[in-house]
Chains A and B, each alone.
Chain A
Amino acid sequence: MFRSPLVPAGQASPDSLAVPTAGRGVLAVVGTFSLTEWRALYRGRFPFVWFVVLPAVASAILGPALAGIGGVGQTGRVAIGFGIMFCYMTVNYVGRALYREFDAQTWRRTATAAPAKGGYITGKCLAVLIIGIAQLAIFLTFALTALGLPLHAGVLAGIAQLVLILVPFAMTGVATGVLMFTLIRRAEVFFSITYLILLMLGALGGALVPSQQLPRWAQILGYITPHFWAMRAIDQTTLGAGNWSVVLESSGLLFLFTIVIIGIAVARFDYRKERYSV
């Protein structure tokens, strides 16, 4: 509590002008913001429609037709594919969480307290990440139990492999949302782009139909989407032989995607940069 930030006159050093904080820990910051975001999501309840109802309806409508393209066990794969695609609503909801500070005008108060950036971003995104993972778990469970999707790797190994895929995949969505927030000042632009990203990455990554059914150029572009690596590993665990090397390779790449994207996002993040809510 005994701090005095001093900057010699004439010296430009914005960070060193920062007012000292009360020394709150990162975990306390995470807890503060995640609790507020949980309340926002719970009281909104609308995320349930986007994350679960909409992909379920789309899967029910398009599933039988798309299943015919791929062959045996494809109905379950289509359901998971829609789950994977709509899991990227995390991008949208991370944006909602971060732009909420500007909509509520609370960003200056947050900036004045200047909590640790990592703690702030984690707190803001934790609820959305958990919802994204839960959504994937719901769709997988449904596909495995009701749609007859096989689990060739075995139950325990299969579950372990799926956890290794789904968690980092959901994290890539959250990281993408944070990065987009640091790049886009206006919320309406952000939200328009999120739907485009959801559809484009889902399609290119083989979430709707298997990659091998796509045009060659789309297959090549698909390699740079997290969706491709997630679907590749899921296919291996369910329809394939459950080969650990394929799963670990995909999982590692998904973690790498997350680290690179969130690294850039955190480096760019600045409390002082004003954003404009819808």
Chain B
Amino acid sequence: MHLTSQHTGQVQRTTKAGIFVDRQSVNEYAGSMLNIKDVDFSYPGGLPVLDGASLKLDAGVVMGLLGANGSGKSTLLGAITNTIEGDRRGTIEVAPEAIGPIGYATQDPALYRHLTVAENLTHAARLATRRWRVASLVTRAIDDFKLGPIADRTARALSGGQQRIVHLACSFVHAPTIRLLDEPTTALDFETRQTLIDLVARWREQGIATLVTAHYPEDVEELCSTITVLVEGKTYPLGSLRDYLARQSRLGYVERLDADGAAISTELSGPLHSLAQIVEAAAEAGIDASLPLHAIEIKPPALRDYLRRDPSLRGAVEEESK
């Protein structure tokens, strides 16, 4: 059976396993490790969860996947890794240079409770790579994730936070070049969270393509370099986080004192790059200019401020679409 790819325009061969293999299209990827196009997904007997979801994950990029609860973030990760039951349609391309199975750290810690940390890592490594690489990969994971002190403890004896970091180590012990993390910072203490942030930064330098779902904007700001928003099963790439925020309105707070000396705080929004713009925004906000000015603060844009006002980022999506 031969099919012509709609994407590469080249002849592909179908293996016995039904996987379409195209070894000729290396250049097509040009640094993109994972390419998802028009993926639809619905659970058995359920409504569609994904509706033409598309994204392109390049090497060395940490993409934050944002969306409200139930928007389909975890489903998208499940559809990419082929680990959920349902009707899937669309295209998922993995770059020819991608190494090993995709690393996928699910929301819940996935550990055999009767095994030690080192044994869990060994099992995960043996599952995904060749035997001769296992020992060195396990040693490296123990070092990277700072698991040395707990390496010989059984998983059931670990705290919730320790289980989570061991789970992350197991998910990526085989050193995959594509890594998916589903809300990875949940239940991590400050130190462990920082370890993860440092690791993800190192992955970026190493050219690893990482996709992270997160609820908290602080996580996205600290972990991710680009963002994609998922609304009602559709993906909206917002590009570089820094560029996106730079394009957004700044936030301002003006405090005036009333007759009794109490502070009245008013939030401003708008460009707020010059004094004239601030005065204009204050007038629009209905601030009484006759009261004495007590304080004025113009903050640089932060994702959390936008999420506070627009949790689903629907407004951002509409704005970007224009």
Contact = CB atoms under 8 A, between A and B. Distances in A.
Interface of A: 1-22, 24, 28-29, 31-32, 35-36, 39-40, 43-44, 100, 104-115, 270-274
Contact of A8 (B6, B96, B108, B113): B6
Interface in B133-176: 170-171, 174
Contacts of A19: 80-82, 92, 94, 101-102
Interface string B1-27: 001011110001000011111110110
A270 B85 contact: yes
B273 interface: no
B314 interface: no
B114 interface: yes
Q: List the 9 closest pairs (A to B, CB-CB), nearest first.
A: A111-B83, A6-B20, A105-B110, A32-B126, A2-B96, A272-B85, A106-B110, A112-B81, A16-B18
Nearest to B85: A272
Contacts of B98: 1, 3
Given A14-B82, A22-B100, A108-B81, A2 B23 contact: yes
B89 A9 contact: yes
B95 A4 contact: yes
27 contacts: A2-B23, A3-B96, A4-B21, A4-B25, A4-B96, A9-B90, A14-B82, A14-B87, A18-B19, A19-B94, A22-B130, A24-B128, A24-B129, A28-B126, A36-B115, A36-B119, A40-B114, A43-B114, A104-B111, A104-B113, A108-B104, A109-B110, A112-B82, A113-B101, A113-B128, A270-B85, A271-B83
Nearest to B174: A22
Interface in B17-52: 17-23, 25-26, 29, 37-38
Given A2-B97, A106-B112, A109-B170, 17 more contacts: A6-B5, A9-B6, A9-B89, A10-B38, A17-B88, A19-B92, A22-B174, A24-B128, A31-B126, A32-B127, A36-B119, A40-B115, A108-B78, A112-B101, A112-B103, A272-B85, A274-B85
Given A5-B93, A112-B83, A113-B127, A39 B119 contact: yes
Contacts of A36: 112, 115, 119, 123
Contacts of B115: 36, 39-40
B92 A5 contact: yes
Contacts of A5: 19-21, 92-94
Contacts of A7: 20, 89-92
B216 to A, nearest CB: 22
Contacts of A31: 126
Contacts of A13: 18
B217 interface: no
Contact of B22 (A6, A15, A17, A113): A6
Contacts of B110: 104-109
Contact of A108 (B3, B29, B83, B87): B83
A9 to B, nearest CB: 5
B104 A4 contact: no
Contacts of A111: 81-83
* Residue in B101, B106, B119 with the greatest tally of chain A CB atoms within 10 Å: B101
B175 to A, nearest CB: 11
Contacts of A32: 123, 126-127
A123 to B, nearest CB: 10
A272 B41 CA distance: 14
A105 B20 CA distance: 30
Nearest to B89: A12
Contacts of B100: 1, 22
B99 interface: yes
B109 interface: yes
* Residue in A3, A6, A22 with the greatest tally of chain B CB atoms within 10 Å: A6
A108 to B, nearest CB: 5
* Residue in B17, B18, B19, B130 with the greatest tally of chain A CB atoms within 10 Å: B19
A129 to B, nearest CB: 20
* Residue in A3, A35, A39, A109 with the greatest tally of chain B CB atoms within 10 Å: A109
Contact of A4 (B22, B85, B124): B22
Nearest to B82: A18
B299 interface: no
A14 B88 contact: yes
A108 B82 contact: no
Given A1-B100, A9-B37, A39-B114, A16 B3 contact: no
A16 B3 CA distance: 13
